[in-house]
Chain A
Amino acid sequence: MQAYLTLVRRELGGYFNSLTGYVIIASVLLLLGFSFTDMLVKLNATPTYVPLTELFYSSYYFWLILLLTAPIITMRTFALEKFSGTYETLMTAPVGDLQVVLAKFTGTLLFYLLTWLPLLGCMVVVRYYTGEATLLEPRTTLTTYLGILLIGGLYMAFGCFASALTRSQIIAAMIGFALGLTLFLLSLRSYMPAPPTDWGAKVFAYIAVGDHMESFVRGIVDTRPVVFYLTVTGFFLFLTLKVVESRRWK
């Protein structure tokens, strides 16, 4: 446990010791700023009682931010350590492989959540100046953040897995981006017209991350997507662990 916490701290510290962390936060802030102005324009054009979270999600900035930042956040986890050689000092310290994988994942997930905090600020500002209570309900805000956490966890697991495969951060980012984009594009297929009996349509409906997020921003928590995210995240962390262990198989 001590080693795990020490590593999580180091992982988080790594973002702030280098420029990477600040650049990521700045980029996310820029995109959130765009979505914020969009929100204001929409609110000025037509009066609405739709929660702000839903309004934010309808602008699709969420996906842009997630698809772009997830690989950048996670690319350094293993690839950088392998490249600089510190992987050897890390793996010869008395820590287990599982501890290392979980610590890296936790570190990236915490940093990712941190980049989403300004969104809360944006919404509070709108709520404060409009004085409309329905715009910002604690319940929908909470479920929105639950969605951000669950989908983010899955994308962080994709990224950690990609990073464990290579010693090049660029390649790690590309693999992570490809994995994330694939899932996103597959989820779009659920919008295509298909007979409801088609098994493919059922599968695509089950993995439709876009639909899942839409329910989360409306305040609906369905257990099926929750189970989906937890299991797939777990599966990719398991794969990452196997990649880390694979140096012992050679």
Chain B
Amino acid sequence: MIVRPIIEVKNLTKRYAGHTAVSNLTFEVGRGEVVGLLGPNGAGKSTTMRILACFLPATSGTARVAGYDVFAEADQVRRRIGYMPENNPLHLDMRVRDYLRFRARLKGLTRRRSRLRTEVVMERCGLKDVDRKIIGHLSKGYRQRVGLADALVHEPELIILDEPTIGLDPHQIRQVRQLIKDLARNHSVLISTHILSEVEMTCSRVLIMQQGRVLAADTTQNLQQIMSDGGQVIAEIAATTEDLRACWEQMAEVEHFNIAPAEGSYQRCALTPRGSFDLRPLVYEQARLRGWPLRELSRSLHSLEDIFVHVTRAQGDGEGEEGR
């Protein structure tokens, strides 16, 4: 039997009066995956999530969660997802335990089960010591955990978190990330964020969005791999500028280079290869042949940040050309 993906989105479009928030979006999320939706503010991440959570209807296209259509079978979908909206809205006048029990009952759990699940999620999210406190009196980090606990309380198959670490201090961010990582063991998770390191740390796969489109979708390792093809090589060699220039000019594999003086008698060379060629062995070979001291030889591996900037900028340039 083929296991259906937990999220199937096909040609999803959402237009508001005047502008298109999501345009012809297609992607899938498999069961047990942790997928990050990455994009600048206004890229359409929240809109996509709201459609998946059955809060907003799509203008066209289909979205299915666990095989159920988000518009026609909204009730089935809602039972299967735990959704935490942006800014994590909570009833600030309620106590933590009362709130979670209220949410559990609202989501259709029996009295017994809601009591049990409330205790379980409070334990899991570290809320045991504040269970009697009024939510409005809690710190932002604790509130975030209450939001997460609410998303978990009915044991959903899919958890959708819209910017779960926004506005938290670094210590709280780390705690929330750890929680998300723990969730990944037995839930599918879709997270949106514009913080790149977050995706690198928590997600197995990333969808980069801009202006309502998916620009790149792959595992974080693959994206890094793709980007580092054609990556620059940095070499610090003790030789005269003229010798180095002559050497790089005669190497057919070098597209262009840049030589700058470094401390001591060393020169720092940045070499860009032609195509996806790894220059490191050649550079080493040259240095050995000519007897040049070599103290650094590295190939830059791109961080997700570079990939993000690269992909979104390329898109921006393309748009500019269309306009001309």
Which residues in A have some Cβ–Cβ distance to B below 8 Å? 2-3, 6-7, 9-10, 13-14, 17-18, 84-96, 247-248, 250
Contacts and interface: CB of A to CB of B under 8 A. Distances in A.
Contact of A7 (B79, B85, B89, B106): B106
Given A3-B108, A88-B89, A92-B55, 14 more contacts: A2-B108, A7-B106, A9-B102, A10-B91, A14-B91, A86-B91, A88-B50, A88-B55, A89-B85, A89-B150, A92-B81, A93-B107, A94-B107, A248-B56
Interface centre among B16, B75, B85 (most CB of A within 10 A): B85
Interface residues on B, range: 20 to 34
Nearest to B16: A250
B283 to A, nearest CB: 56
B75 A94 contact: yes
Contacts of A7: 106
A86 B93 contact: no
Given A6-B105, A89-B85, A89-B150, A17 B94 contact: yes
A92 B105 contact: no
Nearest to B14: A250
Contacts of B16: 250
Given A6-B105, A84-B89, A92 B150 contact: no
Contacts, number: 67
Contact of A88 (B85, B103, B150): B85
B66 interface: no
A14 B102 CA distance: 12
Interface of B: 16-17, 50, 53-57, 75, 78-79, 81, 83, 85, 87, 89-94, 102-103, 105-108, 150
A11 to B, nearest CB: 11
Main secondary structure of the interface of A (DSSP, over half): helix
Contacts of A3: 105-106, 108
Main secondary structure of the interface of B (DSSP, over half): loop
B83 A92 contact: yes
Nearest to A90: B106
Contact of A89 (B17, B79, B89, B105): B89
A2 B108 CA distance: 7
16 contacts: A3-B105, A3-B108, A6-B106, A14-B93, A86-B89, A86-B90, A88-B50, A88-B89, A89-B83, A89-B89, A93-B78, A93-B103, A94-B78, A94-B108, A95-B106, A248-B57
